[in-house]
Amino acid sequence: MKRVLVSGGGGFLGSHLCDRLLKEGNEVLCVDNFFTGNRRNIHHLLDNKNFELLRHDVTHPLYVEVDEIYNLACPASPIHYQFDPVQTTKTSVIGAMNMLGLAKRLKIKILQASTSEIYGDPEVHPQPETYKGSVNTLGPRACYDEGKRCAETLFFDYYRQHKVAIKVMRIFNTYGPRMHPNDGRVVSNFIVQALQGKDITMYGDGMQTRSFCYVDDNIEGMFRLMNSRDGFTGPVNIGNPGEFTMLELARQIIELTNSKSKMIFLPLPQDDPMQRKPLIDLAKKELDWEPTVNLREGLVKTIKYFESVI
């Protein structure tokens, strides 16, 4: 039995990862300051003898004994990460240093939950791991984009300089149960608006594209990466290569919710990427991983969750 630390374990992805790790027979130390995480996400785990919750901010050092670390701590939606951009950068950068320092001291593996946002508004489509990105360092999204880019740099410097065993995962748009209803992400936005009969807010002309990965597929990829062969560091894209316009997504959600909502069109936010689609050849080769849940199937499950919480 391994004792596994999950920073950001009270969040959307973190809580699903805690579920998976416990199911695999591990002890889990869930670390979260609940800035964006929600205790409701892990409430069902509090009585599990193999689960421990520690309220802690990763920008401060942490001294615990564990066998593996998954570093997921960071606000991940524009509304949340732009609310306190300085703290967002500190969480990505100082948080990564603290988690890497712990991994170095304990001589253990550590996985970084990085992001497709490190590619910025891409000039290469779809995006391979070799693409270096097109990011505006001065814009309102930079606190997240550049914070995650710097975290990747730190991970590879600790790997080269201190021989820390690292795994770096670039997460593309992920959705599913336990998303925050007000996190500003497009799937949760559209579903909540449709269920409440409100106008669907479409930014730009709705022709920008995203690729949506259901949460169970994401966690499977994360688990396989942590347990991949020694020496394989990544970075590796984890996402669903199915590509949809925002208009296509909105129409599917309106249909699935039987909503009477109408679409309204608003200006596109600054630096909002026009295209996002992962190349997942590396994940297929190294992890024998590819997504199994299609968008319609995943939306049905996600809508059912939101019907129970709003």
Q: Is 175 designated active site?
A: no
Rounded Cα distance, 30 and 32, in Å: 7
- Nearest CA to 103 among 70, 57, 59, 127? 70
User: Would you list the DSSP string of 92-138?
Assistant: HHHHHHHHHHHHHHHT-EEEEEEEGGGGBS-SSSSB-TT---B--TT
Cα-based angle 215, 216, 219 (whole degrees, multiple of 5): 85
φ and ψ of 34, to 5 deg: 60, 35
Amino acid at 259: S
Cα-based angle 49, 50, 52 (whole degrees, multiple of 5): 90
Rounded Cα distance, 184 and 171, in Å: 17
- The one catalytic residue in 144, 158, 175, 214 is 144
CB atoms within 10 A of CB 292: 11
| 8 A C-beta contact, residue 273 and residue 122 | yes
Residue 178, sorted as left (phi over 0), alpha (psi -120 to 50) or beta, turns out to be left
Q: Which residues are catalytic?
A: 144
